[in-house]
Structure 1
């Protein structure tokens, strides 16, 4: 089956839904930067590579974040589970108060490390000119999402923001896509969902009738028949 064109995915849409992490903001970069600071705070005397520890925290090999997104575990339990896994991987003990110390060091460093991808403002401008409301649909919680948007002066840039706190779970549960469409005032077939996760932002969305566009920043390519872009400029150009 041939890959759908971007033009067909965008034709006649009435709303745009964007993922947040690693779609509009560089969450990997911010997580590694903040995690490096926080790991050094918890294990200051460790010979372990604090950058490598932060990268492992981001990679989340035990898939704590998907478990949180499904509603299986609470946000705090997800964060603690990821830190405990890092400690085991680097043969370290978790000192008393480690989770609290990690979060206290992590939060300000994470806020400072926020970076908007340079192809986001042109997309938002094009959507505004086209009269399209833009919603955010993220598997992060409300507070860290607000932190990101506030740090980047984007609190008022989106018509709707749907987080895991909205319904108590996130993508790829079908209900979160439909709730986002309801809140933004568009039918699923008139709405395109764009994000870096093929599973969560494209296949999950198209399974319930939305259109999907995969943002493949790493240029991985795919055998799935989905519309694919490597930068959001490509979407902005067609909206304009």
Structure 2
């Protein structure tokens, strides 16, 4: 379903389907902080370049993560491919045992770096107040997703969590959106998908019959005819308008 306005997208929704990374949690900063620590563990002689290495790992110019999300490569192969690309870009070797050293440095730093984006609690409170079930749909795996939710004390907050482990692939395959809807017990055209990727969270969702809103936090804009918001607080306000007076006046 393609809604033309935010009001229309929210209007008949009976459930919310949220992306995770850079939609409800600041995954980019968490990955860069943890990756900086990991790069320092592997290449201590390249001081001053570790954050740039981590940023390149996050940027993933060879698109290893989409290949993982489509089910073409395993998680370990994806991580190894990204690490090898960083090494090549900075003219360093991947030393023996690098993958273990990377994980030992990365994992605790990643957990401690988790931050909920500030406009998320308001949206979750609005959904809870109106008894709208909320599901998560992420192209990450179950284990790192649980790390994020545990670190933020949100493990029990969501009715459904669908990861790439669920079916063996992720967005934009229409089957993962439909599986999330099935687990929610809601018809696809009554589920509103929100996320920061036009390809995965909007076009893929709409192709599967869901409503969709693009979270364009940076104001990049697009030529695609999609409903866009700069923050989740806009969706919260639309829910308030849909269900009556602002929550503070009740």
Equivalences for residues 1-240 of structure 1 within 5 A: 4-47=4-47, 49-240=49-240
Distance 1:208 1:139 in 2: 16
Quote how far apart the aligned CAs of 1:30 are: 0.2
What stretches of structure 1 move > 3 A for 4+ residues in a row? none
Offset at 1:101?
0.5
2:25 and 2:115 in contact (8 A); partners too = yes
Per-residue displacement from partner, 1:180-211 (whole Å, max 9, x unpaired)?
00001100000010000000000000011100
Residues 78-125 of structure 1 show CA distances to partners (whole Å, capped at 9, x for unaligned) of: 011100100000000111000110011000000010000000000000
Residue aligned with 1:118, SS? coil
Q: Provide the rounded CA distance (Å) in 1 between the counterparts of 2:138 and 2:196.
A: 11
Alignment check: 8 A CA contact 2:40 2:47 kept? no
For the residue of structure 2 that corresponds to 1:80, the secondary structure is: helix
Tell me how far apart the structure 2 counterparts of residues 148 and 47 of structure 1 sit (CA, whole Å). 28
User: What is the CA distance between 1:46 and its match in structure 2?
Assistant: 2.0
State the alpha-carbon separation in 2 of the partners of residues 232 and 107 from structure 1.
28
CA distance in 1 between partners of 2:214 and 2:47 (Å): 40
Provide the alpha-carbon RMSD of the alignment.
1.1
TM-score, normalisation: structure 1: 0.98
Taking the aligned partners of 1:220 and 1:47, their CA distance within structure 2 comes to 33
Verify the 8 A CA contact 1:48 1:90 in the aligned structure 2.
no
Structure 1 residue runs of 5 or longer lacking an equivalent are none
In structure 1, the partner of 2:247 is: none
**Runs (5+) with no aligned partner, structure 2:** 241-250
Output the CA distance in 1 between the equivalents of 2:47 and 2:136: 40
Q: CA deviation at 1:130?
A: 1.2
- Provide the TM-score with structure 2 as the length reference: 0.94
Offset at 1:45? 1.3
Question: 1:167 & 1:181 partners in 2: Cα distance?
Answer: 14
* 1:215 CA displacement: 0.2
